[in-house]
Structure 1
């Protein structure tokens, strides 16, 4: 399992529009091959900051499958104009703590 993590800075005054569009975009995401789940978290300290967490079966499902799918173009059209700056996306794996 891969955890995609993106910190999203939303342009001032656009929070409500972003959240509404994100609800629409979520419907695209959940149809994708390899998708497991996702969460959007709103920062308490910074009003325009969100954390997007998406679980994928593999990194390829995200970077190749989703990003090359027609749904990604819809995702971009719904969301990318809200970001400033554009988010850095990183991928994480679980660490087996029982072996530490």
Structure 2
């Protein structure tokens, strides 16, 4: 399992609309091959900041399967205009210390 982690800085005054748009966009990502789950968290200390966590079966499910799909173009159209600056996407794998 791969964890995609993204800090999202939403333009001031647009958080309410962003959250509604994200709800709509969630329907897109949740249907993708290799998708496991996702969660959006609002920062308590910093207004307009969110953390998006998405679990994928493989890195390629995100970087190729989703990012190179028609569905991604729709996701981008719904969400990308809210961000300033544009977010950096990072991927993590569990190291199994349990």
TM-score when normalising by structure 2: 0.98
> What CA deviation, in whole Å up to 9, does each residue of 1:22-73 have, x standing for no partner?
0000000000000000000000001100000000000000000001111100
Q: Which runs of 4+ in 1 moved over 6 A?
A: none
Larger radius of gyration: 1
Q: Matches of 2:81 and 2:96 in 1, distance apart?
A: 38
Within-5 A mapping of 1:69-88: 69-88=69-88
Q: Matches of 2:91 and 2:31 in 1, distance apart?
A: 20
SS of the aligned residue for 1:97 comes to: coil
Aligned length, in residue pairs = 98
SS of the aligned residue for 2:31 comes to: coil
Within-5 A mapping of 1:61-76: 61-76=61-76
Q: Please, what is the CA RMSD of the aligned residues?
A: 0.5
Name structure 1 gaps, 5 residues minimum. Answer: none
